[in-house]
Amino acid sequence: MSLREYTTASTIAPPKFRMVVDAGSTGSRLFIYDISDRGEGDASVIKVGSIKTTPGLSCFIHGCNPEKYPTPSDQYMKLVRYANSIIPPSDRAATELTILATAGMRMLSEEDQNTIYSSLLAGLSSEPDFQYSITSISTLRGDLEGYYGLVSSNHLLGYFGELSTSNDGYRPHGSLDMGGSSTQITFLPGDRGPKIDLIEEREEVFRNLYVQSYLGYGADTFREGIWDEVAAKGGGEVKCAFKGWRGEWKGEKLVGTGDAAGCREAIRERIERLSSAKGGGGGEFIDIDGIRHPKIRGRFIAMSLYFFALDCLRVVGGDKSLAEGWPRPTMNEVLHATEGFCAMEWSELEPKKSTIHKFTRDWGLEHRCFEAVYIATFLRDAYGFEEDGRRVQFRFDIGGEEVEWTRGMVMVEKGEKRKEE
Label residues 202-236 b or e (16+ Cβ within 10 Å = b).
beebeebbbbbbbeebbbbbbbbebbeebbeeebe
Residue 183 labelled as part of a binding site: yes
Residue type, 10: S
Flag whether 182 is marked binding. yes
Report residue 162: phi and psi, to 5°: -95, 150
Alpha helices in 93-201 (DSSP H): 103-106, 110-125, 142-156
The verdict on whether residue 10 carries a ligand-binding annotation is no
**Catalytic, out of 145, 371, 404, 413:** 145
Alpha-carbon span 355 to 320, nearest angstrom: 22
The amino acid at 29? R
Give 57's DSSP letter. G
10 Å CB burial of residue 324 (0-12, 13-18, 19+) is: exposed
Quickly list H helices, 255-319.
260-276, 305-317
Q: Clarify whether 269 is annotated catalytic.
A: no
Backbone phi, psi, residue 381, to 5°: -95, -25
180 known member of a binding site: yes
CA distance 79 to 54: 11
Strand partners, 209: none
The one-letter amino acid at 136: S
Q: Does residue 184 have a known ligand-binding role?
A: yes
CA 121 to chain centre: 24
Name the strand (E) or helix (H) holding 295: none
Point out the residues that are catalytic.
145
Q: Residues within the annotated binding site? A: 180-184
Q: Residues within the annotated binding site for ATP? A: 180-184
